Amino acid sequence: MARHPEAIRLRRKGIKYEHYRDLNQRWLKDLGINTVLDVGANVGDFAKLAREVFPAAAIYSFEPLPDCFARLRSSLPGDTKFFPIEAGIGRQDGELDFYRSFHSPSSSFLKMEEFHKEAFPETHDGQATTPIKINVRTLDGLLADKELEDNILVKIDVQGFELEAIAGATATLGRSKIVIIEMSFANLYAGQPLFHDVYQAMHSHGFRFRGSLAQMLHPMTGEIVQTDAIFVKE
C-alpha cells in the first residue's frame, strides 16, 4: 500500500489511504454533501479527509484543546470554505472540566477508565490527569447564525460525550442526512454511553444504522471495542 501512487499522494497531504478508501464511496458521494460538521476535530485529520472526498463542501470543525486547535487552524491553509471553531460541544452552554490525555485524540470530558489504560497504554503516561476548564457550546447554538447548505454530514468523535453532543444538536440533526459517530461497546470512560444508548438516541432523531466504516479492536483479545458507525436519515 505504501508504494501505491494514490497512497503516497494522500500521505503527503496527511491522509491515511485506508480512511480515504472507506469514505470515498459512491453511495455516500451521491448524497450530494454540501456541508461537513466535524465535531471533535483534534488536529484536522478528518477535515483533510473530508476536503479530499467532498472538494466543494463547507467544513466546520470544532475542537476544544487550544494546542490541537492551533494545529487544526493550519490544517487546510488557504481553504476559504474551512471554518475551525474553538469549543467543546455539549447539551448546554457553559464550562466543564476536560481531561487531557497523553494521546490527545483520547482526551475527554469524562475520566478514562482502567480498562482503557490497560488496553491502550499509549494513551496514558501513568500520571494523574489534572482537568482543565473548557468552553462548551451546543452545536445548534454555534451554528444558529451560519447559513449552512443542506445535505449535511455530521462526524462526531467525542470520547464518551456522544449523548451530550447529540442533546445540543436537535435542530442540526433535523437538517442532516448522515452522521458518522464513534461508538463504544466497552466502558473506556467513566459513565459513558455504549452502542445501544447512542443507537436509541440516533433512532429517536430519525436516523437508521447503516453499518460501520472502521472498528477498533482490543490489541490483546481482539474484542471489538469501538466502531465508527454510520447513521442515515430515514
- pLDDT of 103 reads 82
Q: How far is the C-alpha of 21 from the C-alpha of 135, rounded, in Å?
A: 35
Residuewise pLDDT in 10s, the chain (234 residues): 446 788 889 999 999 999 999 999 999 999 999 999 999 999 999 999 999 999 999 999 999 999 999 999 999 999 999 999 999 999 999 999 999 988 888 899 999 888 888 777 776 665 657 799 999 999 999 999 999 999 999 999 999 999 999 999 999 999 999 999 999 999 999 999 999 999 999 999 999 999 999 899 988 889 999 999 999 998
- pLDDT of 124 reads 66
Report the chain's C-alpha Rg in angstroms.
17
State the Cα angle at 47 between 189 and 72, rounded to 5°.
75
Q: Which amino acid is at 11?
A: R
What are the Cα distances from residue 224, in Å, to 4, 20, 208, 219? Answer: 29, 22, 21, 10
- pLDDT of 1 reads 44
Q: How far is the C-alpha of 162 from the C-alpha of 167, rounded, in Å?
A: 9
**Among the residues of the chain, which ranges form H helices?**
5-12, 17-23, 26-29, 45-53, 66-73, 114-119, 139-143, 162-167, 170-175, 195-204
- pLDDT of 114 reads 85
DSSP element (H, E) containing 214 = strand 207-217
| Residues 6+ positions from 126 with CB-CB distance below 8 Å | none
- pLDDT of 117 reads 80
- pLDDT of 125 reads 63
Contact in structure between 230 and 178 (CB atoms under 8 Å): yes
- pLDDT of 127 reads 60
Output 145-149 pairs: Cβ under 8 A, ≥24 positions apart.
Answer: 146/60, 148/35, 148/58, 148/175, 149/34, 149/35, 149/58
DSSP element (H, E) containing 89 = strand 88-89
